[in-house]
Amino acid sequence: MSHLFAPLTVKSVTLRNRIGVSPMCQYSAEDGLANDWHLVHLGARALGGAGLVIVEATAVAPEGRISPEDLGIWSDRQVEPLARITRFLRQHGAVAGIQIAHAGRKASARRPWDGEGQWPIGDRGWATVAPTAEAFGPGLERVPQALDEAGIARLQADFVAAARRSQAAGFQWLELHFAHGYLAHQFLSPLVNRRTDRYGGSFENRIRFPLETAQAVRAIWPQEFPLTVRLSCTDWVEGGWDIAQAVEFSRRLKAIGIDLIDCSSGGAIPGVKIPLVPGYQVPLATQIRREAGIATAAVGLITEPGHADAIVREGQADLVLIARESLRDPHWPRKAALALGQKDALSGPVQYGRAW
């Protein structure tokens, strides 16, 4: 039976356990370049025992950054600083993953500790693009430019180029960020996408941008490496994107060779009430796993080792991603191994031997 410390093989890649560090923006880059902060932050979590460490939302184009301090992968210059990180992660037993992203209408924002809202255009900020010329709402009030077909094709080419650079940087696990109200999710949600062309309206039309993007990336991303998608599986709003659509979209993604769906939720619509209880998104991962027949990752308020272990043992998801708890404690995986009586599952760095 699978459990939290059973290895997971996806394509040619084997994770030493079912614990992944969820992508988390650090808002600490200049010109999109990874630096010592990213190396130490991510490296610490590999030392802590995670099987997979996913680098934060990394922008495929400068105007796709959430904030001016986001990581980027739109230039060859950005490859080597990331390669320094993948080498370290691999040396310490973690598979190196990266999430590539475009924020669409939610771009050009201040990072959390620089206050609220978007930077003015020309003063650290920039004009944004989206499926439809409608702002997100309070806090992010810039009206984006609606993409034309040429713009859509350019962005898809940006995702493909970013995937090639991810490979060049040594990543073996690639995640497409289609969640949290960013660009791809803006196409998916009927409450955001008001287009009347072939990229809007019906379900088939709304999934077209992300599905084509995933297909184009799959065509160049090595077949032996996992290609995964983070979805918001529901908008938590009547009439919005929902789990039934997410299940059907996951089936389509599976059919074009996507290996795993990372099941998150929300982010497209402001002011939505989300039922924040431990594991609140796990049922979404379970339903997609069962009904679309694809591997899933569960994320969101999973902090207890026994809970994480049960998610895997009971087949609710194949992989558990930890975000904030991993910020509190980079050594969460090793502590979880001890708590679950699996001490031998994780041999730590020899330098730390006397601590465990």
Ligand X SMILES: Cc1cc2nc3c(=O)[nH]c(=O)nc-3n(C[C@H](O)[C@H](O)[C@H](O)COP(=O)(O)O)c2cc1C
Q: Name the site residues for ligand X (rule: CB under 6 A).
A: 22-25, 56-57, 99, 177, 179-180, 230, 264, 299-302, 322-325
Alpha helices in the chain (DSSP H): 36-47, 79-91, 149-168, 183-188, 203-206, 208-220, 243-255, 282-292, 305-313, 324-328, 332-339
Which CB sits closer to ligand X, 295 or 320? 320
Nearest distance in Å: CB 76, ligand X: 22
Which CB sits closer to ligand X, 56 or 309? 56
Which CB sits closer to ligand X, 99 or 172? 99
Nearest distance in Å: CB 36, ligand X: 18
Nearest distance in Å: CB 250, ligand X: 17
DSSP string, 288-338: HHHHH--EEEEESS---HHHHHHHHHTTS-SEEEESHHHHH-TTHHHHHHH
Number of C-beta neighbours around residue 252 at 10 A: 17
Question: Biggest alpha carbon distance in the chain?
Answer: 64
- Among the listed residues 258, 315, 259, 263, the one whose alpha carbon sits nearest the alpha carbon of residue 290: 315
Nearest distance in Å: CB 224, ligand X: 24
DSSP string, 189-231: -TTT----STTSSSHHHHTHHHHHHHHHHHHHS-TTS-EEEEE
Catalytic pick from 182, 199, 280, 352? 182
Nearest distance in Å: CB 218, ligand X: 20
| Residue with the shortest CB distance to ligand X | 323
Tokens found for residue 205: 């039309």
182 flagged as catalytic: yes
Active site residues: 182
